[in-house]
């Protein structure tokens, strides 16, 4: 007798067969083991796992690099408009309001830096020095000079940049020859972004009459801008188009809902009819212990990989290759768990429903990889305005979203090998391992017993607990679950996850180098 329920709606079976794992010893001991395998790695994650923690940049550093990145794009894509705006006196009321807003924003930024310096007695002017360098890099020397007057002691690098500026305080500048020697030193600007360092240094060379070096630096900056700016401008346009398409989707759905006859759901029915969706099959045994034991085992695998890295590296900060290794362990552990608990061999394709072909009437038809990619693009377009709304709501509530998990590594001085390792991790390995365990295993096992929405909420809470920000990552996980539910293929959620991580990583790299 076939115990797989027939294909129908997207709810779990009404009656589940009683299937339990054959385990030695009392079940209470296995439940305790499952809870320990969940709680111990989660506690280590929340505590920061200090031996292998990725050092995160402070909020001020991220904000300054983001501001520099935006200024870099605007100043290169609209140089004439920007120049005219800078030269035009603020006589127009609108321009006056913009100028006042910019001044207020600058005062808030300086106050933030001063507050940070007040709490760091060992580095009394580090934050304000960052703001000074940012002001010089975005060609606001008057602001840099004004802030330099408020700082008693400045580093030699910043003093060299200030040398030659009109009205710069005497204590904040150097002799011309000493300043040139400092600008040429190998360790100049350590910890600053490459663009901030080189652009501020180029302007300093011009003021100090070293025009040959200034021209070389300017040529190098222009060469980089000629590669970076068009790429980012095209990417920004594509994102705006995707945001417009996503907004049109939600507007159309809302309009359909308003114009629908009572008791009908034409918009929802149209969306659901595009793809077969997940069937009401039972990819795992119905033992309630399975999702928690498997998920806990996956977390434990990550923790063991982290401890192994700490033992091998003997350092507090993780490298890009270390992140790659840890994610690789996560993928292998996820595959092992899916294979172990699947009801039908081969376990991985059936349980995860990647691309299995079956003549059974109870199997849903499978979509192809191009179809899954198209579905991922559709969900991504619909997701963008939702994520934008979530971030805006959190910002209005005074809640700042946390940094990207690997932002500390990207913001550091990484060589191409380390950066490539991080890119492979976030765009390939992390989506593969996390989607296998969260959607292909945890969500599916919970969905069998609880239905779509309770399984979605529990899975998304677990997913967001392992990431920096609860709200945005909960929404992301919900989108991944719905994409999987909509198409019936884990390829869709994997591709969607990879696209989102790829976009985030690309923006992070752009900000880091600016």
Between 367 and 220, residue with greater pLDDT: 220
Q: Average pLDDT in the 171-177 region?
A: 86
Worst-scoring range by mean pLDDT, 94-98, 183-187, 366-370, 506-510? 94-98
Q: Where are the alpha helices (DSSP H) in 314-451?
A: 320-341, 347-352, 369-396, 407-411, 416-424, 430-434, 444-450
pTM of the model: 0.81
For residue 346, the 8-state DSSP code is S
Q: Where exactly are the structural domains of the chain?
A: 59-227, 274-513
Q: Average pLDDT in the 312-322 region?
A: 64
Residue 53 confidence (pLDDT): 45
Worst-scoring range by mean pLDDT, 351-360, 404-413, 497-506? 351-360
Asked if the model's pLDDT at residue 509 lies above 70, the reply is yes
Mean pLDDT of the chain: 81
Asked if the model's pLDDT at residue 50 lies above 70, the reply is no
Residue 427 confidence (pLDDT): 93
| Separation CA 28–CA 32 (nearest Å) | 6
Residue 122 confidence (pLDDT): 67
Confidence of residue 303 (pLDDT cuts 50, 70, 90): confident
Task: Write out the two tokens for 114.
Answer: 């001063």
Q: Average pLDDT in the 144-158 region?
A: 88
Residue 432 confidence (pLDDT): 92
CA atoms within a 13 Å half-sphere pointing along the CA-CB vector of 307: 9
Confidence of residue 88 (pLDDT cuts 50, 70, 90): low
Residue 36: count of CB within 10 angstroms of its CB: 12
Percent of the chain with pLDDT over 90: 27
| Separation CA 119–CA 114 (nearest Å) | 9
| Separation CA 508–CA 411 (nearest Å) | 8
* CB distance 462 to 442 below 8 Å: yes
Q: Average pLDDT in the 325-338 region?
A: 90
| Separation CA 477–CA 394 (nearest Å) | 18
Residue 282 confidence (pLDDT): 82
Q: Is 73 left (phi over 0), alpha (psi -120 to 50) or beta?
A: alpha
Worst-scoring range by mean pLDDT, 21-35, 346-360, 425-439, 467-481? 346-360
Worst-scoring range by mean pLDDT, 302-311, 314-323, 478-487? 314-323
| Separation CA 256–CA 324 (nearest Å) | 45
Residues 6+ apart with CB under 8 A from 507: none
């Amino acid at each position: 007798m076939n115990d797989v329920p027939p294909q129908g709606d997207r709810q779990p079976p009404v009656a589940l067969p009683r299937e339990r794992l054959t385990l030695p010893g009392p079940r209470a001991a296995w439940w305790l083991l499952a809870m320990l395998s969940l709680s111990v790695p989660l506690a280590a994650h929340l505590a920061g796992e200090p031996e292998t923690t990725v050092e995160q940049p402070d909020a001020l550093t991220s904000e300054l690099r983001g501001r520099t990145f935006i200024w870099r794009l605007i100043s290169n894509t609209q140089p004439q408009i920007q120049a005219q705006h800078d030269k035009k006196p603020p006589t127009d009321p609108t321009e006056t309001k913009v100028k006042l807003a910019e001044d207020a924003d600058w005062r808030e930024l300086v106050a933030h830096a001063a507050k940070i310096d007040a709490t760091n007695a060992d580095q009394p002017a580090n934050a304000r020095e960052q703001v000074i360098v940012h002001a010089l890099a975005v060609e606001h020397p008057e602001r840099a000079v004004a802030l330099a007057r408020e700082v008693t002691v400045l580093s030699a690098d910043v003093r060299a940049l200030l040398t030659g500026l009109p009205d710069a305080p005497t204590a904040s500048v150097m002799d011309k020859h000493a300043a040139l020697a400092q600008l040429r030193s190998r360790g100049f600007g350590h910890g600053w972004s490459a663009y901030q360092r080189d652009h501020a240094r180029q302007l300093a060379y011009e003021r100090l009459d070293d025009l040959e070096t200034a021209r070389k630096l300017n040529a190098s900056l222009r060469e980089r801008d000629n590669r970076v700016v068009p790429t980012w401008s095209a990417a920004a346009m594509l994102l705006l188009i995707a945001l417009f398409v996503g907004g049109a989707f939600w507007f159309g759905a809302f309009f359909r809902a308003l114009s629908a006859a009572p008791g009908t759901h034409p918009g929802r029915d149209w969306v659901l009819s595009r793809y077969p969706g997940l069937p009401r099959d039972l990819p795992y045994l119905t033992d309630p212990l399975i999702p928690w034991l498997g998920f806990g085992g996956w977390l434990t695998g990550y923790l063991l990989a982290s401890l192994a890295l700490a033992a091998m590296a003997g350092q507090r900060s993780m490298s890009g290759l270390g992140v790659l290794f840890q994610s690789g362990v996560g993928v292998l552990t996820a595959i092992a768990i899916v294979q172990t608990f699947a009801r039908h061999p081969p376990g991985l394709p059936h349980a995860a429903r990647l691309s299995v072909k079956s003549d059974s009437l109870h199997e849903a038809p499978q979509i192809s990889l191009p179809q899954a990619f198209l579905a991922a693009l559709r969900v991504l377009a619909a997701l963008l305005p939702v994520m934008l709304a979530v971030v805006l709501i959190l910002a209005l509530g005074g809640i700042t979203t946390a940094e990207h998990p690997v932002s500390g590594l990207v913001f550091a001085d990484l060589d191409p090998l380390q950066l490539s390792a991080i890119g492979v991790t976030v765009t390939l390995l992390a989506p593969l391992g996390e989607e296998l365990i969260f959607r292909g295993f945890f969500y599916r096992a919970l969905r069998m017993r609880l239905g779509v929405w309770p399984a979605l909420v529990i899975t998304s809470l677990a997913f967001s607990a392992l990431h920096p920000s609860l709200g945005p990552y909960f929404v992301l996980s919900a989108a991944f679950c719905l994409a999987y539910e909509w198409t019936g293929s884990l390829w869709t959620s994997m591709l969607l996850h990879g696209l989102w991580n790829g976009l985030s990583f690309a923006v992070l790299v752009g900000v880091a180098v600016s």
